[in-house]
Amino acid sequence: MATIKAAILGFGTVGQGIYHILKERKQELLEKLGVELEVAKILVTDASKERVQNTLHLMTESIEDVLAEPGLHVVFEAIVNEEPAFSYLKRAVEHKCHVITANKVMFAKRGQELEQLAKEHGVGVGYEASVAGGVPVIKTLKNILLVNNAQRIQGILNGTTNFILTKMRIENVPFEEALSEAQRLGYAEADPYNDVSGQDAFKKLMILSSLAFGEQPNWAEIEVIGVDTISQTDMEAANLQNLRYRHVAEIERLADGTLVGKVTPLLVDNVHPLYSIDDVNNAVTVDTDYIGTITLVGPGAGMYPTASVMVEDYAAIMLKGVGQAVSI
Ligand SMILES: NC(=O)C1=CN([C@@H]2O[C@H](COP(=O)(O)OP(=O)(O)OC[C@H]3O[C@@H](n4cnc5c(N)ncnc54)[C@H](OP(=O)(O)O)[C@@H]3O)[C@@H](O)[C@H]2O)C=CC1
Ligand SMILES: N[C@@H](CC=O)C(=O)O
């Protein structure tokens, strides 16, 4: 039986989730993939801090140390921001490792470059977790857009803001209190500005745009408005009219070929498809020419939903081969 070595970059909510799942599903992965997956290195900024029992010996603060691990086969990246994440994954790819990322800030900007590099080196890139947490929107789009053309994508792409809006509406708690709860539950970004300002949903929308339309619009032309402008008074007024606030990201290809998009709070009525999407859930609706409209719904953030789709990405690369795992 072959043992395959994995490294985890970042050991917060998502990185720890990957570690737990690889441990908990060791036997199932062995049966399904025919290999034993062993976490050989974990990269953090402070290697002296023990986050999970019996992992101190795996910790390092150096990417050189990670890449020096003999037989390293896959790198799971769950750190934050474009850099050093992109440079680390670039080096991992050049090292002939498959790379799996949850980092939408990096992937929105450098994803296409990373995929090209991976192709040249014959390794796979998984990025399901970078959009809508546990909702399998990336693999669904890859599967249906071989024949169908996407016309429009609309959705709730941020779990934290949907959680906040739901708590404010149902429990009448102030914005700040709902945000603290989202942070405690591991939904919010290290800097929650990205969630509440709409920047996190915007990056996810750009990743979907690359996949669905083969390109991204000019970022400067996309209007991005966060939920931090919504007060409890606004929420009460909406409630009285049986309307609900949703933070909606959308992008559409116009007849002249132009891509137009926006990220903004929207008041929806009870016949709108996003009306019933509460809590940390996300929803993504895709209009296509042949299938028509499909909607995917599920947890948009959190340790296990996010980490599990990263492990699924790796399993898919192992089972189907690199050609099918990388983006179309
Ligand atoms: N939380 C969620 O539900 C989801 C998160 N994501 C994405 O996954 C990524 C990780 O998120 P999350 O786990 O919540 O974040 P956390 O803040 O919980 O954890 C981040 C981890 O990355 C480490 N880290 C940060 N910068 C560096 C660096 N330069 N070098 C080495 N390690 C570094 C931190 O180390 P240290 O502990 O030493 O500070 C920490 O362990 C982000 O890109 C996020 O957008 C995607 C989908 C869902
Ligand atoms: N902070 C993000 C985490 C997942 O991408 C969110 O709340 O959606």
Question: Would the ipTM clear 0.95, i.e. be above it?
Answer: yes
Give the residue from 84, 82, 239 showing the smallest Cα distance to 166.
239
Write the CA distances from 291 to 78, 141, 144, 171, 182, integer angstroms. Answer: 34, 12, 9, 39, 36
pLDDT tens, position by position, for the chain (328 residues)?
789 999 999 999 999 999 999 999 999 999 999 999 999 999 999 999 999 999 999 999 999 999 999 999 999 999 999 999 999 999 999 999 999 999 999 999 999 999 999 999 999 999 999 999 999 999 999 999 999 999 999 999 999 999 999 999 999 999 999 999 999 999 999 899 999 999 999 999 999 999 999 999 999 999 999 999 899 899 999 999 999 999 999 999 999 999 999 999 999 999 999 999 999 999 999 999 999 999 999 999 999 999 999 999 999 999 987 544 443 2
Q: Give the whole-angstrom CA distance, residue 7 versus residue 71.
A: 11
* 301 Cβ inside 6 Å of ligand 1: yes
Which residue's CA is the nearest one to ligand 2's atom 1? 188
Is 90 an active-site residue?
no
How far from 270 is each of 102, 156, 273, 286, 317, CA to CA, in Å? 33, 16, 8, 20, 41
Is the CB of 46 inside a 6 Å radius of any atom of ligand 1?
A: yes
110 contacts 101 by C-beta, under 8 angstroms: no
Instruction: Find out whether the beta carbon of 15 lies less than 6 Å from any atom of ligand 1.
Output: yes
* CA 238–ligand 2 middle distance (angstroms): 25
- Ligand 2 in reach of 305 Cβ (< 6 A): no
Closest-lying ligand 2 atom to the alpha carbon of residue 192: 1
* Cα-to-centroid distance, 11 and ligand 1 (Å): 7
**pLDDT value of residue 322:** 58
Residue 163 CA to residue 101 CA, distance in Å, equals 24
Q: Nearest residue CA, atom 47 of ligand 1?
A: 133
11 Cβ closer than 6 Å to some ligand 2 atom: no
Structure-token pair, residue 273: 């498809």
Neighbour-count burial of 85, counting CB atoms closer than 10 A to its CB (0-12 exposed, 13-18 middle, 19+ buried):
buried
Q: Quick one: pLDDT at residue 136?
A: 97
Cβ count near 15 (within 10 Å): 26
Instruction: Report the pLDDT value the prediction gives residue 149, as an integer from 0 to 100.
Output: 97
Which amino acid residue places its CA nearest to atom 19 of ligand 1? Answer: 12
Domains and CATH numbers, the chain: 2-133+304-325 (3.40.50.720), 137-300 (3.30.360.10)
State residue 303 phi and psi, 5-degree precision.
-55, -60
Q: Find the catalytic residue in 5, 167, 203, 204.
A: 204
Are the C-beta atoms of 328 and 145 separated by less than 8 Å? yes
How far does the centroid of ligand 2 lie from the alpha carbon of residue 133, in Å?
Answer: 7
Question: How close is the Cα of 133 to the center of ligand 1, in Å?
Answer: 14
Whether the predicted model's global pTM rises above the 0.95 cut = yes
Helices (H) and strands (E) in the chain, counts: 13, 12
270 CA distance to ligand 1 centroid (A)? 36
Whole-number Å distance between alpha carbons of 265 and 5: 44
Place of tokens 């959009």: 131
pLDDT of residue 2: 85
